[in-house]
Structure formats: structure tokens, C-alpha cells
Amino acid sequence: MTHLIDRLRGIVGAAHVLTREQGTDLSAWEQDWRKRAHGRALAVVRPGSTDEVAAVVKVCAAAGHSIVPQGGNTGLVVGSVPDDSGTQVLLSLTRLNRVRDIDRANLTMTVEAGCVLQAVQEAADRAGLLFPLSLAAEGSCTIGGNLATNAGGTQVLRYGNARELCLGLEVVTAQGEVWHGLSGLRKDNTGYDLRDLLIGSEGTLGIITAATLKLHPRPACQLTAWAAVPSLDAAVALLGLAQGRLAAGLTGFEAMGQFALSLVDRHMPQLRVPLWQQTPFCVLLENSDSESEAHARGQFEQLLESAMENGLVTDAVVAENLQQARQLWHIRESIPLAQAEEGLNIKHDISIPVSRIPVFCEQTDTLLQREIPGVRLVNFGHLGDGNLHYNVQAPEGGDPATFLREQEERVNTLVFDQVQRHGGSISAEHGVGSLKAAKLPHYKDPVALALMQQIKQALDPRGTLNPGRVLPP
């Protein structure tokens, strides 16, 4: 192992190979964001270029040491931290953080994998353009991680997941070769789409080192509205009405249950959550208009008037300025933090056909409350694209750690069985990681799973890249 460490230092420089033996605290890389897992790395290696990544992979593969790629380490499925063997090399890509190029005419931007999402958004904005991927963790998550997990976020309804926002990739293979696929082309039918295969593969098929991203014209204005709705059925009907009235201008449609908002009100009272006490659900809508603020406001007012006349909305507020809009979005993005303040919980990132969401929630709420009396349901998410964060909190006064330890497997099975019954997916935007890998044989088509295993064997026969992730052990 000492020989391997010396070779790694020769590739990236001694300052960028961190080990416990030299007295470095590696916990920031070895522990996941939710503190659900704490591994033990042989070393943390921080390459500064794609060539260095390739060289590191070659050396590790030859020595028989597996590699765990890591970006901002904000993932929620334990997919980017090492196991506890002390033999895996943690490959941190945060030094690969350059914006290589912005092509305004082609509406593209080429960035390295370690670029923080917020920095990419700001670079696009300085160019007078928009990169629309938006997540609560955008101040610390990286583009490489976003693509590796096919991240979603709040504007999938209009712009799509990370996969839809990427035109080309630069990737280091499990053999340490570099695929130079940074195409800015929107049409290229010259064989299998390797880009789409690698996006969402969570570093198990190749290590993304750079990407060419789609940019969009900046809207003339963005308006945000917060509406109280009497039921999830009404929220789904409001979504259909908004899509008909606003068309592509509807860039966000978030639903938030009353208990989820009550946690924000309890733990972050300074945010002043509107309307939550008088309704079972609130909806956050965003209208991105290409004409003017007056046009957008008029559209919003007509939409909400019609929704109220039809009983879909009981009350609503429209943000008067950008600061108010940010405040409303901040409330939505604070739900996970407020839930963490309430105590350990069981998280689900699921997708259901939008038309089935009300009956799924009704049936699953009833099932969980019958099986675990007093359980509290923190239901919120991207209703516009069918993605719910259907989280489960311990009963009031119960010990959250005990609840998590004793009930997580049971709750997961109850929820995932319901998801399958309603034609959904047990992972919508967070990925599979190691947290859900063992669940796939129960909820993934067996032919699809076999094809995935064959692809992994073909591209990474030694199991060098992120073993134990995505595919079942």
C-alpha cells in the first residue's frame, strides 16, 4: 500500500494525497451528508486535471484497489463515501472546477466536474443566459455529482433532469482511458448514446470529468405564487389548469403538506410560512415569462381567479418582488432542514404518475398510520413531474433513533410496495447508491436488471469503480 500511495503522490502531488497516517482528519470525505454511513478510505486523492484522474485510475486498477468518486458529497443514498475496509481510494474531483468555455451562439457551456452548481448558474447569468438546474444543495453540490445521479430539482417540469441539460461528456473509463465526448451537438446519431448511459450511473461505469451543458435564454421575468389547496386532487387539477394557461412558462410546481410546513414554522419561525394552518396542502408555482412582468402577473392573476372559481384554490399570494419570491422558495427548501431538526427520519424519493398521486397518498397514509399508530408523514416535492419526498417521522414524543432502527425496513417495504402497485419508481432523483441497491431485485424489471449487470461487467470487469453501488451485491 505504501508503494501505491507513493505512486499517487507522484501523479497529483504530495499535498493532494491525504491519509490518516499523516495525521489528516478524513471524516469530511468518509461520512455522508446525512451521517448515515462513515467509511474508512485508504487515501483521499485530489487530482487537478483529467489526465491526472486517468493516471490515478490506471494505478489503482493495476494495484487492485477500487475507487469511490466524490463531488460535493451532498448525496442522500450513500453513494459517494468509502466502505469500512480501509482499502478504497476516495477520488475527490473538487479541484476540477474550471469553466472551460461558453458558446453563446450554440447556447452551451463546458465545465469541469468539480464546478459547484451555483457557480455554473452564476457563470451562465453573467453571460446573459440561464442554466436552469436548481437544487437546495446548489451551493455545495457539483456538476459531476449532479450528472452522476441525474439530479432533478425544482425546474424539471420545464427543462428536464440533468440528463436533458447535458449534450456531451468527458469521461475516464475503468481502464484509465479518456473518452473525449464533449460535443455541443444536439443531433448525433452515430451509434449508442454513451452520454445517456453514463449519466445516472453514479460513477460505476466511468468517472465524469467535464460536461458540455445546455443553456437557455434568460426569461424576461419570473413570478412566484403560493396557493392553499383543499386536497391533492385539487393540486393535480390546478397543475393541469396551470399547464394549459401558462404552457412552457410554468417552470415550477411544488406541493407541500401541512405537517411538512408546520415543521418549518416550528423550527424556523422567522420564515413566516403563509396559509399553512388553514389547508392540508400548499402549492408553490413559478411562471417564467418571455415578455414582461406585467404579462406574467396578468397570467397569474387570471389563473388564480379561475382556480378559485373552480374550488381548486382557497387562498393565494403572489410575490411582489424578487425578495418575496426568494423567501417563498426558501420556505420550500427548508423543509428537509426542519425535518432534521425534528429528529432522525425515514426518507423516500419516489415518483408516481401524476394522475395516481392523490390515491397513492391516501392509501399509503392510511396504511402507515394503521401499521404504526401516531406516525407523522412529511409529504412534499415536485408534484409537477410526479416526484414526492414522502418522508416518515417518528410519533410525537417517541425516540427518533429507536424508530429509525426498528421501523426503517418495515416502512420502506410498505412504501415501496405501494409505489410499485401504482406504477412508480423507488428512486426519482437521488439515485440508488448503496442505500437502495439491495432493493432493486424486488422493484426492478429482471430483464432490465440483467442488462445493467451485463453493462457493468463489460465496462468495468474488475469492479474498480464504485463497487456495491446501484447494482445489488
Beta carbons of 434 and 204 less than 8 angstroms apart: no
User: For the residues of 38-57, what is the DSSP string, one character each?
Assistant: B---SEEE--SSHHHHHHHH
Question: Are 221-336 and 343-421 in the same CATH fold?
Answer: yes
| CA–CA distance, 144 with 209 (Å, rounded to integer) | 7
Q: What is the mean pLDDT of each run of 10 residues along the chain (473 residues)?
A: 91 96 93 90 98 98 97 94 97 98 98 98 97 93 97 92 98 98 95 96 98 96 95 98 95 97 97 96 94 89 96 95 92 94 94 98 97 96 96 94 94 98 97 95 97 98 97 90
Q: Calculate the alpha carbon distances from 309 to 229, 238, 295 in Å.
A: 13, 12, 21
Residue pair 425/350 in contact (Cβ under 8 Å)? The answer is yes
Sign of CA dihedral 320, 329, 164, 388: negative
Nearest to 97 by CA among 148, 32, 49, 147: 49
CB of 161 closer than 8 Å to CB of 429: yes
- Position 97 scores a pLDDT of 98
Quote the longest CA-to-CA distance of the chain: 74
**Phi, then psi, of 6 in degrees rounded to 5:** -60, -40
- What pTM did the predictor assign? 0.94
Q: Which CATH class name applies to 343-421?
A: alpha beta
Task: Determine the pLDDT at residue 33.
Answer: 87
Q: Write b or e for each residue in 178-215: b if 16 or more Cβ atoms lie within 10 A of its Cβ, otherwise e.
A: bbebbebeeeeeeeeebbeebbbbbbbbbbbbbbbbbb
**Sign of the C-alpha dihedral, residues 343, 272, 117, 351?**
positive
What are the extents of the domains in the chain? 2-92, 99-217, 221-336, 343-421
**CB of 255 closer than 8 Å to CB of 384:** no
pLDDT of residue 1: 67
Q: Which CATH number fits domain 221-336: 3.30.70.2190, 3.50.50.60, 1.10.3080.10, 3.30.450.20?
A: 3.30.70.2190
State which fold the 99-217 domain adopts.
3.30.465
Q: Measuring CA to CA, how many Å separate 344 from each of 77, 245, 267, 329? A: 15, 41, 15, 24
| Beta-bridge mates of residue 228 | 282, 315
Per DSSP, 351 falls in state E
Cell numbers placing 208: 465524469
User: What CATH code is assigned to 2-92?
Assistant: 3.30.43.10
